[in-house]
Amino acid sequence: QVRLEESGGGSVQAGGSLRLSCVASMYTYRPYCMGWFRQAPGKEREGVATIDSVGRTKYVDSVKGRFTISRDNTKATLSLQMDSLKPEDTAMYYCATDNYWCNSVSWSTSRNWGNWGQGTQVTVST
């Protein structure tokens, strides 16, 4: 199975920005769907954003206008630009891929996605 590796997490103050990246172990990897999920302590893993192979995106309402998902199919990479960060964005962020769910109304259900990275921690302080 192709491995996914996230990077770019860290600690920032509210209002700051971070850019997360996810790299696949095979540069020829071309999943139809790529997405970012997050999980805060004591909470379920939730979908943050997803993008399909032609660039169609979906976002959870709480990040619309602040986060931007993008992918580079030539390099098998996925990014998440996070601006105007809030303390409630604090979580472990995971990269995930699949070949079906990104254009479904159930896209944000984590158990539907088949391939996961290990996560990168994002902490936003007041």
Q: Is the pLDDT reported for residue 27 higher than 90? A: no
C-alpha closest to that of 9 among 33, 29, 38: 38
| Residue 42 pLDDT level (bands cut at 50, 70, 90) | very high
State the pLDDT at residue 38.
98
State the pLDDT at residue 103.
87
pLDDT in tens, 65-121: 999 999 999 989 999 999 999 999 999 999 999 998 898 889 999 998 999 999 999
Q: Is the pLDDT reported for residue 1 higher than 90? A: no
| 87-118 burial code (b ≥16 CB/10 A, e <16) | eebbbbbbbbbbeebbeeeebbebebbebbbe
C-alpha 10/C-alpha 27 separation (Å) is 26
State the pLDDT at residue 63.
98
State the pLDDT at residue 2.
92
